[in-house]
């Protein structure tokens, strides 16, 4: 069947990072509207299918399912060792401006594909446990609260962790993780923190109140700078504005 159409910007495959390629139909000669509409839908379908076709046609040493904290780190380390690695992610890719302003924006916040919701927050009910987890390129990092805790001594003193000198063994890895995640001290005490402190005091645990380190860039508030963490190889960052939106996705790029 002849079709007078011309497609530009046909990508090899959707890259995991960076801007998303898009198909653009630059001209469709004299086709009725419903055909143009179907063609556009077919092209969208091809766009989704293309990385999978490529996955099937090229050999990879490792295929990692999920691009969250675990998957992305595994992919990076394997690629650094020279392996060919593919990462498959079910959710979409987000730029800071794509995140919802509030979690009432269910379409962008919740992940419930059966209801047509493709946001960042998934919820899975299993027999004995209800799991909140993130979805999208970056997994839980899109929606998490950014707290980066190194377990205190009492965790390693627990019988479950006895026998392997785990504190010493894990110390260098916590150091790497903190560097990779840009752990920084949070120094602002908000009214919500004050409430938490009061509650802790009420139950006799006031001495445990402290500020956590967080994976947030605290530069000049609202000022965007070239990647401050990895010598410019990562994305630009904007100084945290303390907007409090971390758990709907940081729209500032902090």
- Residues within the interface to ligand SF4 (CB under 6 A): 216, 240-246, 250, 252, 254
- Tokens in use for 88? 């498959």
The interface partner of residue 134, options being ligand SF4, ligand FAD, none and the CB cut-off 5 to 8 Å by kind, is: ligand FAD
The interface partner of residue 144, options being ligand SF4, ligand FAD, none and the CB cut-off 5 to 8 Å by kind, is: ligand FAD
Query: Which residues sit opposite 8 in a β-bridge?
Result: 24
- The distance of closest approach from Cβ of residue 63 to ligand SF4 in the complex, given in angstroms and rounded to an integer, is 32
The interface partner of residue 88, options being ligand FAD, ligand SF4, none and the CB cut-off 5 to 8 Å by kind, is: ligand FAD
CA–CA distance, 248 with 145 (Å, rounded to integer)? 9
Interface residue with ligand FAD, options 50, 147, 224, 241 (CB under 6 A): 147
Closest CA to 145 of 252, 239, 247, 253: 247
- The distance of closest approach from Cβ of residue 138 to ligand FAD in the complex, given in angstroms and rounded to an integer, is 7
CA–CA distance, 21 with 214 (Å, rounded to integer)? 32
- Is residue 103 part of the contact set for ligand FAD (CB under 6 A)? no
CA–CA distance, 116 with 72 (Å, rounded to integer)? 26
Q: Looking at beta carbons only, is 10 or 171 nearer to ligand FAD?
A: 171
CA–CA distance, 184 with 181 (Å, rounded to integer)? 9
CA–CA distance, 23 with 190 (Å, rounded to integer)? 46
- The distance of closest approach from Cβ of residue 8 to ligand FAD in the complex, given in angstroms and rounded to an integer, is 29
The answer to whether the CB of 249 falls within 8 A of the CB of 110 is: no
Count of C-beta atoms within a 10 Å radius of residue 104: 9
Interface residue with ligand FAD, options 94, 99, 109, 144 (CB under 6 A): 144
CA–CA distance, 99 with 75 (Å, rounded to integer)? 25
Interface residue with ligand FAD, options 110, 135, 216, 237 (CB under 6 A): 135
- Is residue 66 part of the contact set for ligand FAD (CB under 6 A)? yes
Interface residue with ligand FAD, options 75, 85, 143, 250 (CB under 6 A): 143
Q: Looking at beta carbons only, is 165 or 176 nearer to ligand FAD?
A: 176
Q: Looking at beta carbons only, is 41 or 243 nearer to ligand SF4?
A: 243
The answer to whether the CB of 123 falls within 8 A of the CB of 130 is: yes
The interface partner of residue 51, options being ligand FAD, ligand SF4, none and the CB cut-off 5 to 8 Å by kind, is: none
Q: What length is written for the chain?
A: 254
């Amino acid at each position: 069947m002849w079709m007078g159409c011309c497609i530009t910007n046909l990508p090899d495959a959707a890259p995991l990072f960076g801007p998303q390629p898009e198909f653009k139909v630059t001209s469709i000669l004299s086709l009725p509207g419903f055909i143009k509409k179907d063609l556009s839908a077919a092209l969208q379908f091809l766009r989704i299918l293309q990385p999978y076709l490529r996955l099937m046609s090229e050999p990879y040493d490792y295929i990692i399912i999920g691009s969250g904290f675990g998957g992305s780190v595994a992919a990076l380390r394997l690629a650094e060792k020279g392996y060919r690695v593919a990462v498959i992610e079910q959710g979409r890719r987000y730029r800071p401006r794509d995140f919802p302003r509030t979690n009432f924006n269910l379409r962008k916040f919740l992940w419930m594909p059966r209801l047509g919701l493709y946001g960042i927050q998934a919820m899975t009910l299993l027999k004995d446990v209800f799991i909140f987890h993130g979805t999208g390129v970056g997994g839980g990092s899109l929606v998490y609260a950014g707290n980066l805790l190194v377990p205190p001594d009492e965790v390693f003193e627990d019988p479950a962790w006895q026998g392997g000198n785990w504190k010493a063994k894990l110390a260098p890895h916590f150091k790497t993780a903190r560097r990779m995640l840009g752990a920084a001290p949070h120094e602002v005490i908000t009214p919500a923190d004050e409430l938490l402190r009061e509650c802790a005091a009420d139950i006799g645990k006031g001495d445990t109140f402290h500020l956590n380190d967080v994976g947030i860039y605290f530069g000049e508030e609202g000022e965007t700078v070239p990647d401050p963490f990895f010598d410019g190889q990562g994305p630009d960052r904007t100084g945290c504005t303390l907007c409090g939106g971390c758990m709907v996705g940081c729209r500032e790029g902090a």
